[in-house]
Structure 1
Amino acid sequence: MSAQDSLYRRLLAWLLLPLLGLGALMLIQAYLGARDTADRAFDRLLEASSLAIAEQVKWQDEQLWLDLSPAALEMLATDAEERVFYALYNARGEFITGNANLPGLAMANGDEQALHYGNVTWNDQHLRLGIRETRLEGWSQRERFEVRVAHTREGRESLTLALFQGSLVRIAIMALLAACILVLTIRLALSPLTRLRRAIRERDPRTLAPLALNLPRELAELRETLNDLLARMRRVRANQERFIGDASHQLRTPLAGLSARAELALRQDDPALWREALQAMQATSASTARLAVQLLSMTRLNNPEASPELTPQDLNQVARTATLGALGACHREGIDLGVETSEEAILVPGVGWQLEECLANLIDNARRYGASQITVRVLANPPTLEVEDNGPGIPADLRLMVLRPFFRGQDSGEGSGLGLAIVDSIARAHHARLTLHEARQGSGLRVAIRFMGDRS
């Protein structure tokens, strides 16, 4: 089975794709969480360092004075060796001292002791800047000032990567476990389908017994559908076996008669008796040949694999061709055969030779069962083919039974009981309805084939 036709691969793909998408979202969330954690950790260093620097600010010689110890800057130092900057500004925003003239931030009014953070770019360096607004705490001087502290982002990025790698390992392990569980779950879920496939594959091809597997509800519906198909196949096989049995019986009788007639003729010495036997054998062989042709027609019509394509057919032309083909036999027996067609073309989807054979069987049935007048008629609304005769007709209680193969409404006549069965099969193949009625003149039979589909 190819990949595109594998139900297992389809389920695995459709379930793994959302799982991969969820894993990607988890990775993004893990990275954002790691970055946020690193920012909070280093922002606390900025806060502690700015507070330590603010405590060192004094008022001396009528101005702010800062004597910064190396320990205050060492608080910001990490293993990443990022660069650290600080600056002191007075209330008017004038630079007092520091190792860098750092930019400010657009800040809303708030608590004086609050520390404001922001990401800035200074001298082509990306910095994390913290600004503390405060004032001197002396009783004689309460000058306002700002302490600005910043460092580069190496330490933050290093910590972010370390935290993200830890989360990545955990997410990878979880994803691997989820994928394994998913694969096992799909295999377990599809195991009933595998059992059904094996049961069908291991069945004897000659048996049509129903499947009796205990399956989940969704597959139980498939099992019942298969059992319905097997039941229909059993009915079809039973009909075929019955048809074969009837056909064998119908063929065995004339063949046995031929053999008996030939054996009897061989015992005679009179040429007149030989001629009589040959005439009887010729009639029997002709009847047997016609029966064989009808059997082949029934077999071909009942084979759904050999159904030809329906094309537009003019019923007028079909009626003329069938009438012309039967005219010779009817003329030899003194039967009046006529055809009534419509002035305009009446088109229906169909197969020409089947419709002609349909009419030929109806005409032949009427001829063999004693009709002296036969009329083939084409009607327009709805499109209909009719064959009417003045023969003995068929009783109303037998009109459905005569459509069965090898059933004859009366013992007299030369028919084999297949003519109307063939006509019924052709009608059903053309989505038409076959009905049997009394003849319009009151004596005889009228067979109508009414086409139910739209005219093309």
Structure 2
Amino acid sequence: MWQKSLNHQNLSKEEEENALKKAPSLRFRFILAGMLVIGIIAGLAINLIFDYSQKLADLSYDRLLRSALLQMDENVGLMRNEVSIDIPWSAFATLAQADEDRVFYKVESLEQGFITGYQDLNSEPPQPPKIDQIQFYNQEYSGEMVRFAWIQRHLTDPETAQTVRIVLGQTRLSREEMAAAVTQKAVEVVVFIALVAITLIIIGSHLVLRPLHRIERALEERAMGDLTPIVINTPKETHHLKVAINHFMARLQTNLEQLENYTADAAHQLRTPLASLKALAENARDITSFGDHSVDGTASERQRQALDNIVRQCDALSQTVTLLLNQAVVSHRLQTHRLEPMDLLIPIAASCREQAVTALHQGVHLSLDCDLKETLILGDSFSIQQMMQNLIENAVRYSGSNAQKATEVIVQVNAFERFYRIKVIDYGDGIPDDEKERVFERFYRGRYDIAGSGVGLAMVKDIVDHHSARLQILDTEPKGTTFQVDFAKFRFDEGVL
């Protein structure tokens, strides 16, 4: 599957074959699971059939055994105060229907003792004896398993009364033969049904997986770069897969468009300072070439100013490249990393420490105002640290634009019932109301007299949106700008936001 995609990834044919061999087979799992279920059901069915055939054979032959026992019982009587029995031929003729079986019997009186039959035959039934109630049971005798029928009843006449027991047994050869015949026929039917079911499962697995192959072919036949949604009809079971693929391709298309726009904008922004840098360098070269003709030192001063401009443009270019790289890293992390519980104060404090020296060089006092010991949220620490660095750097830059007036930037962190609030407060010139929404546009700059790239606040907006936070731009009293960000608290009791 996905052979074209693998080829695009420059995988060798051997690597493709190894990957295909190691990949689990959905069809094999489907067939194996079906065979396992059918095997279990067939095993249970065969076991039930075996038990049923045994009971059926016993039920059939027990009727013959009962009939013979009752015939013997009818011919038991008292003669001269002694028990006598005339065993009828019909009783053995009834049992003779099982021509391979042997018959054992015993007649005894509890008062008189053994009367006739096999004297060593055990006449005690496995269950407590009950008068005039026939018991059937299996017991080993003479080296083989025998089915016995047992009955006990009272004989009375005016002069005496005695209790007579009759035990009649028959070997189980015919019973086992009958049970085996019934079981064999039933097992053949069960095996046939199981084979038919497995065949249907194999055919059904091909039909079930056909929509997946249709989706595969639809994707493989597409031209490179075609990320339009899949419009083929699929069953309900694969509909969600198709929807997920379409959503993924839509997100991929959006990311590619953003990457293309971002690359184009970045290239344009990089070309501008580079062109300026080239022009300034050429100017400096020309001034150096003709500097010897100047008497009053004007050429040297102009050269110094040109070189200063080159340095500032280099700084701006370096800053832009750094921000673009950070933007790329943050975008990648936001798409590939899960949000995890973290302490919000850690990236905030780290950002303040990193920007403190830069702020002092610009005559700005940077301070962190927070009394909280722990601020747990669900987020990405690296991204939030980049967000804070951009907010603080932006506040410091615009606060220090007036070098004659020292000012300060305050970072506040406060806790509310359901969220933490971060404020980055500066006392600079502020942002006009009509520009507060545009400052988050990529490469937008409200003032070109102050160094900047126009990328930082756009990155801040992306990070805030990814964390489902709320960002506001407020006016600082009496003058300046306050960036306010609210992050929802992470609650351990619920484990969710």
**What TM-score, normalized to structure 1?**
0.78
Gaps in structure 1 of 5+ consecutive residues: 137-142, 332-336
2:290 corresponds to 1:270 = yes
CA-to-aligned-CA distance 1:67-91 (integer Å, 9 cap, x gap): 765x864653477743311345679
Of 361, 365, 377, the match for 1:338: 365
**Paired residue for 2:482?**
446
**Paired residue for 1:319?**
352
Aligned to 2:414, the other structure's residue is in SS state coil
- Tell me the CA shift for residue 451 of structure 1: 4.3
2:232 corresponds to 1:213 = yes
Structure 2 CA distance for aligned equivalents of residues 292 and 3 of structure 1: 43
Aligned to 1:313, the other structure's residue is in SS state helix
Fraction of identical pairs, as percent: 25
- Tell me the CA shift for residue 367 of structure 1: 3.7
**Paired residue for 1:176?**
195
User: CA RMSD of the aligned region, Å?
Assistant: 4.2
Q: Would the alpha carbon gap of residues 74 and 447 (structure 1) be closer, same or farther in structure 2, given more than 3 Å must change?
A: same
Q: Tell me if structure 2 keeps the 8 A contact 1:369–1:414.
A: no
Structure 2 CA distance for aligned equivalents of residues 453 and 92 of structure 1: 95
- Tell me the CA shift for residue 118 of structure 1: 1.0
Q: Tell me if structure 2 keeps the 8 A contact 1:316–1:378.
A: no
**Paired residue for 1:224?**
243
Of 422, 429, 441, the match for 1:384: 422
**Paired residue for 2:175?**
156
CA-to-aligned-CA distance 1:113-168 (integer Å, 9 cap, x gap): xx9341153756643223578999xxxxxx99876431122332233223222222
Q: Would the alpha carbon gap of residues 177 and 80 (structure 1) be closer, same or farther in structure 2, given more than 3 Å must change?
A: farther
Structure 2 CA distance for aligned equivalents of residues 405 and 440 of structure 1: 28
2:308 corresponds to 1:290 = no
Aligned to 1:128, the other structure's residue is in SS state strand
Task: Please say which of residues 397-406 and 18-27 is displaced more in the overlay.
Answer: 18-27
List aligned pairs for 1:25-44, cutoff 5 A.
25-44=44-63
- Tell me the CA shift for residue 250 of structure 1: 1.2
Q: Tell me if structure 2 keeps the 8 A contact 1:346–1:380.
A: no
- Tell me the CA shift for residue 283 of structure 1: 3.0
**Paired residue for 2:14?**
none
List aligned pairs for 1:109-120, cutoff 5 A.
116-120=134-138
**Paired residue for 2:473?**
436
- Tell me the CA shift for residue 358 of structure 1: 4.1
**What TM-score, normalized to structure 2?**
0.72
**Paired residue for 1:103?**
123
Aligned to 2:147, the other structure's residue is in SS state strand
Amino acid at match of 2:484: A
Q: Tell me if structure 1 keeps the 8 A contact 2:440–2:457.
A: yes
CA-to-aligned-CA distance 1:79-105 (integer Å, 9 cap, x gap): 774331134567977543334556265
Q: Would the alpha carbon gap of residues 66 and 407 (structure 1) be closer, same or farther in structure 2, given more than 3 Å must change?
A: same
**Paired residue for 2:147?**
128
Q: Tell me if structure 2 keeps the 8 A contact 1:323–1:376.
A: no
Q: Would the alpha carbon gap of residues 400 and 370 (structure 1) be closer, same or farther in structure 2, given more than 3 Å must change?
A: farther
Q: Tell me if structure 1 keeps the 8 A contact 2:284–2:303.
A: yes
- Tell me the CA shift for residue 429 of structure 1: 6.6
Amino acid at match of 2:428: N
- Tell me the CA shift for residue 177 of structure 1: 1.4
Amino acid at match of 2:123: P
Q: Tell me if structure 2 keeps the 8 A contact 1:35–1:160.
A: yes
Q: Would the alpha carbon gap of residues 377 and 2 (structure 1) be closer, same or farther in structure 2, given more than 3 Å must change?
A: farther
Aligned to 1:394, the other structure's residue is in SS state coil
**Paired residue for 1:403?**
440
Gaps in structure 2 of 5+ consecutive residues: 1-19, 156-161, 292-298, 416-420, 493-497
Q: Aligned pairs, how many?
A: 437
CA-to-aligned-CA distance 1:320-353 (integer Å, 9 cap, x gap): 541222321x14xxxxx12343374655563496
Q: Would the alpha carbon gap of residues 292 and 411 (structure 1) be closer, same or farther in structure 2, given more than 3 Å must change?
A: same
